[in-house]
C-alpha cells in the first residue's frame, strides 16, 4: 500500500511532496494532500488513518509545473523509476497556508449541512473576506 511507503519515506523527505503512481493515478497523502488541494482544489478523501488526494496520470506534468512554480520540491515514485526534484523548497510555507484553508473549508462544510444555500454563500463571502483583510 502506498500510504505505508509514504509514512516511511516522509521521515527522510519531510520537506518534499511525495507523489506515488498507483495504476492510472498518482496519489499524495496527508500534508502533501493538503498542499495539493490548496494549489488545485482537487478533492481530498478522508480515510480512517489518513487523507488522500488522487489525480490522473495525464495531469502529472501540470502538477509538476505547479509545484516548481511554487518552489515546492517533490519526489515521484513509480514501479520502474524514482525521480526527485529539489528546489529551494517553500514546502512548509505552503503547508501552513493549505492547512489553514482546509480547516476553513471543513468548518464551512460542517455549517453548510445546517444552513440554506443563500446563507452558506453569504457565510463564505464573509469568512473569506476576513481572511483577505
pLDDT tens figures, 9-35:
899 998 999 999 988 899 999 999 999
Q: Are 53 and 33 in contact (CB under 8 A)?
A: yes
Q: ∠45-38-16 over CA atoms, to 5°?
A: 90
Predicted confidence at residue 108, as pLDDT, reads 66
Count of structural domains within the chain: 1
**Residue 83: CATH number of its domain:** 3.40.1170.10
> Domain range spanning residue 80?
1-133
Residue 86 has pLDDT above 70, yes or no: no
Q: Are 41 and 9 in contact (CB under 8 A)?
A: no
CA distance 72 to 89: 5
Quote the pTM value: 0.64
Write out pLDDT tens, residues 112-131: 665 555 555 665 666 555 55
pLDDT > 80? residue 49: yes
d(CA 70, CA 90): 7
Amino acid at each position: 500500500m502506498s500510504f505505508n511507503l509514504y509514512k516511511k519515506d516522509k521521515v527522510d523527505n519531510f520537506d518534499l511532496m511525495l507523489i506515488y503512481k498507483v495504476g492510472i493515478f498518482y496519489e499524495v497523502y496527508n500534508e502533501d494532500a493538503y498542499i495539493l488541494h490548496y494549489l488545485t482544489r482537487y478533492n481530498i478523501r478522508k480515510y480512517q488513518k489518513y487523507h488522500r488526494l488522487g489525480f490522473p496520470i495525464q495531469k502529472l506534468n501540470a502538477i509538476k509545473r505547479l509545484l516548481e512554480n511554487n518552489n515546492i520540491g517533490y519526489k515521484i515514485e513509480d514501479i520502474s523509476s524514482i525521480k526527485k526534484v529539489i528546489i529551494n523548497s517553500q514546502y512548509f510555507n505552503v503547508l501552513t497556508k493549505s492547512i489553514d484553508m482546509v480547516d476553513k473549508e471543513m468548518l464551512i462544510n460542517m455549517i453548510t449541512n445546517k444552513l440554506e444555500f443563500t446563507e452558506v454563500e453569504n457565510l463564505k463571502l464573509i469568512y473569506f473576506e476576513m481572511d483577505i483583510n
